[in-house]
Chain A
Amino acid sequence: MTQKFTVLYFASAKDAAKTDSDTFEWSVGITSAALTRQLLARHPALDHVLKTSMFAVNMEYMDQDQSWTVQPGDEIAIIPPVSGG
């Protein structure tokens, strides 16, 4: 059974994807590497941005190579290098 999850794009990721959000479907646990492949398949222009970005899952930073089981409505965010302050 596939689950839908939302991907949010911010700052340079939003500029590259030319949108601020997308919906993806995935059937099992997903790794950050697999997510990266899905993102690049839809938005090749994200290639440069993703090299320096982090992922957040439901508003928590995800470790590199961490995998998680997609829950309905999960929210994944592409977090380019931050520059608040």
Chain B
Amino acid sequence: MASPATAHKDFVKITDDVISLDEVAKLVRDPKAGAISTFSGTTRDNFEDKEVKTLAYEAYAPMAEQTMKQLINNARAKWNDLIHVAIYHKIGDCPVGETSVVIAVSSGHRRQGLEATAWLIDELKVQIPIWKKEIYTNGGPEGTDGGEVWKANNTLP
């Protein structure tokens, strides 16, 4: 006999800790799910011709988490097959190649979960109050480090 329907759960977190794709994906497991769709964002080592030494993220954490919950509510209104949704974003130092953001969505069938995951990362990049600073190893004045820059995402996803 099939298990009874489970309540939909949302998990949002701004964290200093290293983010594990596996652990976030586990949060959204459900016996009713036929699919778990995930997105994992990692930090790149270059911007134009500059080499990025390290990156750091800052957040307005309470607003970021509240806005993530609103995004999930909006996603549930667009896609009715979603079961559980998790969005984790790292703040603080984030060395090149590390995971900065993970989104995991469980759904009855794959299509809506995949679409919702893509939509959520696009909206996150536009709406969530989180900022990335790139610190460069080169590209600055002769004989100096390359300085640091607060980045800006494109305003349209």
Contact = CB atoms under 8 A, between A and B. Distances in A.
B66 A82 contact: no
B29 interface: no
A82 B151 CA distance: 8
A79 B100 contact: no
Given A82-B153, A83-B150, A83-B151, A56 B63 contact: yes
Contacts, number: 72
Contacts of A80: 131, 150, 152
25 contacts: A8-B60, A10-B60, A10-B131, A11-B58, A56-B129, A59-B66, A59-B67, A77-B60, A82-B125, A82-B127, A82-B128, A82-B130, A83-B131, A83-B132, A83-B151, A84-B89, A84-B125, A84-B131, A84-B153, A85-B41, A85-B121, A85-B124, A85-B125, A85-B130, A85-B132
Given A79-B129, A85-B124, A85-B153, 9 more contacts: A81-B155, A83-B130, A83-B152, A83-B153, A84-B64, A84-B89, A84-B128, A85-B41, A85-B100
* 9 nearest A-B pairs in the assembled complex, by CB-CB distance: A84-B130, A81-B152, A11-B131, A83-B151, A59-B63, A83-B132, A85-B125, A12-B150, A11-B150
